[in-house]
Amino acid sequence: MEQGQAQRILRRLSRWARTQVGDAGATDPTTGELFGSLTLPEATASGRASIGARSYGEATVHVGRGETARLRVGAYCSIAAGVQFLVGGNHRTDWVSTYPFRVLFGLPGAWEDGHPRPERDIEIGNDVWIGTEAMVLPGTRIGDGAVVGARAVVSGQVRPYAIVAGVPAKEIRRRFTDRQVEELLAVRWWDWPEERVLASVPLLSNGDVDGFLRSARASG
């Protein structure tokens, strides 16, 4: 085995181990919650994240001390290995200095003066696929059915059923026509009982979008 190949394997194993074990354990005295680099199970158990039905993945949720934002993931999402969710951690670019003086000098008001900058929750819709090692920044909203390319850096809003990629992530195209997207968002198959979802797998795992929509309308 070549040295470069061995190093790549070791890096993958290291990432996997950090994802499985995490480095959680510290409790934020301000919020009483875990903070650090949390696995999805750790983030969910501590209330830092909520994960919808049948969604899966090996992502890391980065939560800093003093952060109150959450990660919210919808149903039937696929999150690839190495994905990073940054719930907070932004410095104050609107202040004279971005330096966290009170925190690092132990001054009164540390962690309570608005640094780090308060953020909105990260919201991931339903049936979203996030590719390997993508990074999702604080306050991002990703719509239902969207696809995020590998190693993309995502911020702001991603339209439903959009495919985005790059640094920073930009929309490449929509997966389907605007009419089909509108109808899929109205159908909301991810809210169906699981029995109906499983019965619909032949149509869901199929490129005939209009055929699926016709069947969904006929079934009410």
CB atoms within 10 A of CB 123: 16
| Residue 126 DSSP class | S
Return the SS3 of 162. strand
List 91, 170, 179, 217, catalytic entry: 91
Distance, first Cα to last Cα, the chain: 57
Contact assessment for residue 153 and residue 131, using Cβ atoms and an 8 Å cutoff: no
CA distance 4 to 186: 49
91 is catalytic: yes
The residues, any chain, with a CB within 8 Å of residue 102's CB and separated by 6 or more, are 108, 109, 110, 111, 113, 115
Q: CA 32 → CA 26, 66, 217, distances in Å? A: 10, 10, 47
Catalytic residues: 91
